[in-house]
Amino acid sequence: MAVRIDGSEILNPGLLIHQIIWQVKTVTGQDAFGAAIYTWTDFLRCKARVESTQGKEFTQVMQRWAEAEFSLTQHFSKRVTPDMRIAWLRDGQTVYLDVLNINDPAGIGRYQYVICRTFENANFTA
């Protein structure tokens, strides 16, 4: 993070090297048993910094969210919620991330810190 003259933190755009897509789950119908059928729709495409939660600087994160695998930093967007998922374009492959927590560390709406985990099933609907 960089610090402005007024002392507030700002996000260095040069650190945002990953392309991510926030997706929202929508009900598109019902199956033969009456259970809802879901699809994921792109909601927001943006740049972010995605980091592995390994290492001692992430000990506090791992204590609270044991299943956390990645932390993500992006510009603030008030409309993203934990019930969305993230499609991360990594090395030509799409990795889907389940959002565990969204935080505005500075409390001023400049950037967000997101804790995520991957899931095995790309058709994840929970």
Q: What is the CATH number of domain 18-118?
A: 2.40.10.270
pLDDT at 87: 95
Cα-only R_g, the chain: 16
Burial 78-106 (b: 16+ CB within 10 A, else e): eebeeebbbbbeeeeeebbbbbbebeeeb
110 pLDDT above the threshold of 50:
yes
pLDDT at 67: 77
Q: Give the tens place of pLDDT for each residue, 13-65.
A: 788 889 999 999 999 999 899 899 989 999 999 999 998 876 655 665 655 67
pLDDT at 21: 96
Domain-wise residue ranges, the chain: 18-118
The DSSP 8-state label assigned to residue 108 in this structure reads: S
